[in-house]
Amino acid sequence: MQILLLGSGGREHALAWKIAQSRIPCNLFIAPGNAGTSRCGQNVPISVNDFTGIRQFVIEHRIDMLLVGPEDPLVKGIHDFFLADPLLRSTPVIGPVAAAARLEGSKDFAKQFMVRHGIPTAAYQTFDAERLEEGLNFISSLNPPYVLKADGLAAGKGVVISHSREEALKEFTAMVRDARFGQASARVVVEEFLPGIECSSFVITDGNSYLVLPEAKDYKKIGEGDTGPNTGGMGSVSPVPFADKVFLKKVEDRIIRPTVEGLKQEGLNYIGFIFFGLMNVKGDPFVIEYNCRLGDPETESVIPRIKNDFVELLIAVAERKLSGQAILTDPRTCATVMLVSKGYPEAYEKGKPVTGETEVNGSLVFHAGTAMKDGEVLSNGGRVIAVTSLGNNMMEALETTYRNAEKIEFEGRYFRKDIGFDLK
């Protein structure tokens, strides 16, 4: 079986690592991949948004399945591109069509979808430049903190939470009128602040049935104690202690099932992963956001807990035969810590030699932003390496992860020392 995986982060290395363990003989290609993924398959230098390049590769290499890691190509319509091409149409794409990827691509669409299907989420209103005054009045009528969200994709930076009304009004104007996040903030969702603790739930769906994957918690802020600017994610743990059976049943009954049913009712062809960013408000789950893909670094903690043959699962999704399957979960805890470049999440350094990987024992090392040059692994992104360990409990998993994280070095390396701090 010939599989092409799109992406180049820690999520894709974790997926590639899992695919490489399948009982089904596979040739795995990763476009563009990183130094880590090249150990699980063959990297090909095609960017995830180069649809023409992907088309040519799929045809030449008789690819049997396309697995899409990041949101960008999905929101831009890679699945639709395949369906519209006679030579690609029969190649299954794991990832939704653009109309369904709007769950991530447009916050306003996601909110309207949730309202239509009675899915619990924060109350909201959406404004554009024509309704600037109304937006300012609406914000002024609310109590702090204020939550402003750019409608479109903004590389994880489009959400502003402000405790000051003055600042919120200024931000709102900058977003809507002055294109603070480019076209993405031409429309802005203003929503009610939900107090609580976050976690993420994931499902894989064939458009008809779905399977719930292990949940995870991500640590988005750069600084310890959840301080400083947001990042792509500095670490993750799975399972999440507060997401007990009662909570997870509420998530499935009130959020997951209505979402999958809602997509079906609306004729949206959703094949692939749905990521539910959740807030636990006094035991009740609310949706903070949908993503049309797996999370990063959540995947690095979720995938090692899945005992199924992953390729068999993907085939079942592609053939729309997921209903006969079940997820087999490792009961142990998985903890991931991300080693990042100096400067991240602002401008950061690249091209630093990464050493010490061979000293690691008892942990998995997933590359997040690396490149191979003359036989040497170099840093090539803000997030560079994810160190992941399984343990009998969270303390044990974190201890192993931190012991090994210390061994991997590159100039300016930084990692948070407190992943899991709020769950202990």
Interface positions with ligand GLY (CB under 6 A): 218, 232-233, 291, 295-296, 298
Q: Scanning residues 203 to 262, which ones bind ligand AMP (CB under 6 A)?
A: 220
Residue 117 in contact with ligand AMP, rule: CB under 6 A: no
Q: Please, which residue, 158 or 295, has the CB nearer to ligand GLY?
A: 295
Q: Please, which residue, 296 or 357, has the CB nearer to ligand GLY?
A: 296
Please spell the DSSP secondary structure of 179-230, one letter per residue.
-TTGGGGSEEEEE----SEEEEEEEEE-SS-EEEEEEEEE--EEETTTEEEE
| Orientation of helix 165-176 relative to helix 132-141, angle to 10° | 160
Q: Tell me which of ligand GLY, ligand AMP, none is bound by residue 159, counting a contact when its beta carbon lies within the kind-specific cut-off of 5 to 8 angstroms.
A: ligand AMP
State the amino acid at position 50 in one-letter form.
D
Q: Tell me which of ligand GLY, ligand AMP, none is bound by residue 4, counting a contact when its beta carbon lies within the kind-specific cut-off of 5 to 8 angstroms.
A: none
In whole angstroms, how close is the CB of 279 to ligand AMP at the nearest point? 6
Nearest to 78 by CA among 56, 101, 46: 101
Assess contact for 187 and 108: CB atoms under 8 A: yes
Q: Tell me which of ligand GLY, ligand AMP, none is bound by residue 191, counting a contact when its beta carbon lies within the kind-specific cut-off of 5 to 8 angstroms.
A: ligand AMP
Residue 289 in contact with ligand AMP, rule: CB under 6 A: yes
Q: Please, which residue, 135 or 297, has the CB nearer to ligand GLY?
A: 297
Assess contact for 268 and 99: CB atoms under 8 A: yes
Q: Tell me which of ligand AMP, ligand GLY, none is bound by residue 288, counting a contact when its beta carbon lies within the kind-specific cut-off of 5 to 8 angstroms.
A: ligand AMP
Q: Please, which residue, 31 or 159, has the CB nearer to ligand AMP?
A: 159
3-state class of 34 per DSSP?
coil
Among 65, 78, 122, 318, which residue interacts with ligand AMP (rule: CB under 6 A)?
122
In whole angstroms, how close is the CB of 236 to ligand AMP at the nearest point? 13
Assess contact for 312 and 371: CB atoms under 8 A: no
Cα 240 from Cα 211, distance rounded (Å) = 18
Residue 159 in contact with ligand AMP, rule: CB under 6 A: yes
Q: Tell me which of ligand GLY, ligand AMP, none is bound by residue 193, counting a contact when its beta carbon lies within the kind-specific cut-off of 5 to 8 angstroms.
A: ligand AMP
Nearest to 36 by CA among 319, 383, 329, 306: 383
In whole angstroms, how close is the CB of 157 to ligand GLY at the nearest point? 11
Q: Tell me which of ligand GLY, ligand AMP, none is bound by residue 83, counting a contact when its beta carbon lies within the kind-specific cut-off of 5 to 8 angstroms.
A: none
In whole angstroms, how close is the CB of 368 to ligand GLY at the nearest point? 11
Cα 334 from Cα 109, distance rounded (Å) = 34
Q: Tell me which of ligand AMP, ligand GLY, none is bound by residue 233, counting a contact when its beta carbon lies within the kind-specific cut-off of 5 to 8 angstroms.
A: ligand GLY
Residue 402 in contact with ligand AMP, rule: CB under 6 A: no
Residue 288 in contact with ligand AMP, rule: CB under 6 A: yes
In whole angstroms, how close is the CB of 408 to ligand AMP at the nearest point? 27
Who's near 96: CB < 8 A, 6+ residues apart? 74, 79, 103, 268, 269, 270, 271, 272, 292
Residue 104 in contact with ligand AMP, rule: CB under 6 A: no
Please spell the DSSP secondary structure of 67-100, one letter per residue.
EE-SHHHHHTTHHHHHHT-TTTTTS-EES--HHH
Q: Look up residue 372 and give its two tokens.
A: 């191979």
Q: Tell me which of ligand GLY, ligand AMP, none is bound by residue 205, counting a contact when its beta carbon lies within the kind-specific cut-off of 5 to 8 angstroms.
A: none
Intra-chain end-to-end CA distance of the chain, in Å: 43
Q: Which residue has the tokens 């507060």?
A: 242
Assess contact for 290 and 104: CB atoms under 8 A: yes
Q: Which range of residues in 191-199, 253-261, 376-384, 388-396 is near ligand AMP by CB under 6 A?
A: 191-199
In whole angstroms, how close is the CB of 226 to ligand AMP at the nearest point? 9
Q: How would you classify the pairing of strands 2-7 and 65-68?
A: parallel
Residue 268 in contact with ligand AMP, rule: CB under 6 A: no
Q: Tell me which of ligand AMP, ligand GLY, none is bound by residue 165, counting a contact when its beta carbon lies within the kind-specific cut-off of 5 to 8 angstroms.
A: none
Cα 373 from Cα 106, distance rounded (Å) = 38
Residue 277 in contact with ligand AMP, rule: CB under 6 A: yes
Site for ligand AMP, rule CB under 6 A: 122, 147, 149, 159, 161, 191, 193-194, 198, 220, 277, 288-289
